[in-house]
Amino acid sequence: DIVMTQSPDSLAVSLGERATISCKSSQSLLYNSNKKNYLAWYQQKPGQPPKLLIYWASTRQSGVPDRFSGGGSGTDFTLTINSLQAEDVAVYYCQQYYDTPRTFGQGTKVEFK
Amino acid sequence: EVQLVESGGGWVQPGGSLRLSCASSGFTFSKHVLTWVRQAPGRGLEWVSTINGGATSTYYADSVKGRFTISRDNSKNTLYLQMNNLGADDTATYFCVKEPNSDYIYSWFDSWGQGTLVTISS
């Protein structure tokens, strides 16, 4: 199975500041034939189901604010939240869909400093 | 608007069975892969099972293989998960999840239901 490891486990950021979450995979998620990285990011607020933010490592889902951006390739990826807003407090998960079983990172909790 | 509404969760003793359902609307049901993902209390997300649009292919996590059966009724726009021989490790909220493709399973999860809680305890 592909192991997804996120860091840090939790992150305290001031309102309006930037939050950056790292996600590393145990093998490359870059599919050579289409040059796409098979990685998604989700946001889960307390008591709610996860919500898709980003797929193909950097494509924002429709309706997701542009302060959320994804980057990276191969085995190293980042989710950046520019100018953190109150409603961004949540747990964020990365997920690989390069291989089955599809696996998630352990989650990163983003809180206010 | 996509809607996925799970039901069927509850408390059951170890070794027991439950059948989860997921009633869906707002999209062409038969044209999408559907999946169950679970989350143990206070824990992360775990993929459980997937079925393609035509119900011809099914996939299971090793942790549930041989105990759980995923199925769908495209005439009723409903997804199911039959869970047998349940153990404490199966205690979790089970989410019904829609995917963007009809057959291709190497994809992200684009819409999630609110989930239904399954508790296994004596």
User: What pLDDT, in 10s, does the model give residues B39-48?
Assistant: 999 999 999 9
Tell me the average pLDDT of chain B.
97
Residues 32-51 of A with CB under 8 A from B: 38, 40, 42, 48-51
Q: Are residues A37 and A54 in contact, defined by beta-carbon separation less than 8 angstroms?
A: no
> What does the pLDDT look like over A67-99, one tens digit per residue?
999 999 999 999 999 999 999 999 999 999 999
- Of the residues B103, B108, B117, the best mutation for testing chain A's interface (the one with the most A CB atoms within 10 Å of its CB) is B108
Contacts of B42 (CB under 8 A, 6+ apart): none
Contact criterion met (CB < 8 Å) for A102 and B47: yes
Contact criterion met (CB < 8 Å) for A52 and B59: no
Tell me which residue in B45, B111, B113 faces A93 most closely, judged by beta carbons: B45
From A88, A68, A91, select the one nearest A78 (Cα to Cα): A68
The residue to which tokens 């039959």 are assigned: B82
Question: Cβ contacts (< 8 Å) between A64 and chain B: which residues?
Answer: none
> What does the pLDDT look like over B63-79, one tens digit per residue?
999 999 999 999 999 99
Beta-bridge partner residues of A69? A80
Predicted confidence (pLDDT) at residue B18 exceeds the cutoff of 90: yes
Mean pLDDT along residues B42-61? 97
Question: Cβ contacts (< 8 Å) between A98 and chain B: which residues?
Answer: 106
Q: Does A63 touch chain B (CB under 8 A)?
A: no
DSSP code, position B13: -
> What does the pLDDT look like over A17-67, one tens digit per residue?
999 999 999 999 999 999 999 999 999 999 999 999 999 999 999 999 999
Give the pLDDT score at B111: 98
Give the pLDDT score at B67: 98
The DSSP result for chain A, as a single string, is ---EEEE-SEEEE-TTS-EEEEEEESS--EETTTTEE-EEEEEE-TTS--EEEEETTTEEPTT--TTEEEEEETTEEEEEESS--GGG-EEEEEEE-SSSSPEE---EEEEE-
Predicted confidence (pLDDT) at residue B102 exceeds the cutoff of 90: no
* Chain A to chain B Cβ contacts (< 8 Å): 50
